[in-house]
């Protein structure tokens, strides 16, 4: 039995899995199971918030920020599983808001911590021939957006991108990371074939030694796109939300948080 509440916020998900089946088990089937459990309660929430991802829409082919009206075209299993969950949730008997964050930066995230530790060495990496553009968001800005969505009294199903207004490229991101740790970061361009082989090797050895694989084929596909960018204009207009932090402020705040936690 689930205690009665006004708003249910689904934040669970798996961004690194052993195979495609595991991506769908954790990011789609688990969502379906949870909703079916909610349906068995003697109450229904006023709104259900689902954490999707920019990956559910896929890359930006023309390097123009995606909007919610554009047709999603995810390219890898994580994004496909998230999109399938979004589509399933449109048929629930209570209002659902699916929100799609870009890269979330903030202290406490071990995936982002890897980037800060790399910057501390003075070495960063990018895909050769691509200065990828991405949409990011400060974790505190995202929390404030979630609060706004939770307070939405509409009875409609909704979908929002939740990102900072600025577009960040890899050079800008590594510059911000370097400044946050007091280092000048030298960017090493890695050829696609090298990254592909690293992803395949990492996936192979993760199955043997049972470690969490952060560099799989999904990550390779994401890293080798020209852009993953979107617009949060709809969220800003409809719910009066506005992100407060730019990329340099966000990264600086995250670095300070990691240092306080003794991780950086």
- Is 0.75 topped by the overall pTM? yes
Q: How many CB atoms lie within 10 A of CB 113?
A: 17
* Residue-wise pLDDT tens digits, 125-157: 999 999 999 999 999 999 999 999 999 999 999
State the pLDDT confidence band at 35, using cuts at 50, 70 and 90.
Answer: very high
Whether the Cβ atoms of residue 91 and residue 66 lie closer than 8 Å to each other: no
Span 158-170, average pLDDT: 95
* Residue-wise pLDDT tens digits, 65-123: 999 999 999 999 999 999 999 999 999 999 999 999 999 999 988 889 989 999 999 99
What would the two tokens of residue 110 be?
């071990």
CA pair distance 135, 60, nearest whole angstrom: 11
């Amino acid at each position: 039995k689930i205690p009665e509440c006004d708003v249910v916020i689904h934040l669970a998900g798996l961004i690194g899995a052993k195979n495609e089946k595991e991506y769908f088990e954790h990011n789609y089937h688990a969502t379906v199971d949870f909703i079916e459990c909610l349906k068995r309660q003697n109450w229904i929430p006023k709104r259900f918030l689902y954490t999707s991802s920019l990956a559910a829409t896929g890359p930006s082919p023309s390097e123009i920020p995606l909007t919610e009206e554009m047709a999603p075209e995810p390219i890898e299993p994580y994004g496909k599983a998230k999109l399938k969950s979004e589509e399933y949730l449109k048929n629930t008997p209570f209002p659902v808001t699916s929100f799609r964050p870009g890269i979330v930066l903030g202290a406490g995230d071990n995936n982002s911590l890897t980037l800060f530790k790399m910057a501390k060495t003075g070495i960063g990496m990018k895909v050769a021939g691509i200065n990828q553009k991405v949409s990011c968001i400060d974790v505190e800005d995202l929390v404030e957006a979630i609060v706004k969505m939770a307070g939405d009294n509409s009875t409609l199903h909704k979908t929002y991108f939740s990102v900072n207004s600025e577009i960040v490229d890899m050079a800008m991101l590594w510059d911000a990371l370097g400044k946050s740790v007091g280092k000048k970061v030298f960017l090493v361009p890695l050829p696609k074939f090298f990254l592909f082989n690293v992803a395949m090797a990492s996936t192979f050895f993760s199955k043997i030694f049972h470690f969490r694989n952060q560099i799989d084929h999904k990550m390779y596909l994401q890293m080798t796109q020209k852009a993953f960018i979107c617009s949060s204009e709809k969220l800003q207009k409809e719910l009066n939300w506005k992100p407060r932090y730019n990329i340099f402020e966000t990264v600086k705040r995250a670095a300070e948080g990691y240092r306080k936690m003794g991780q950086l």
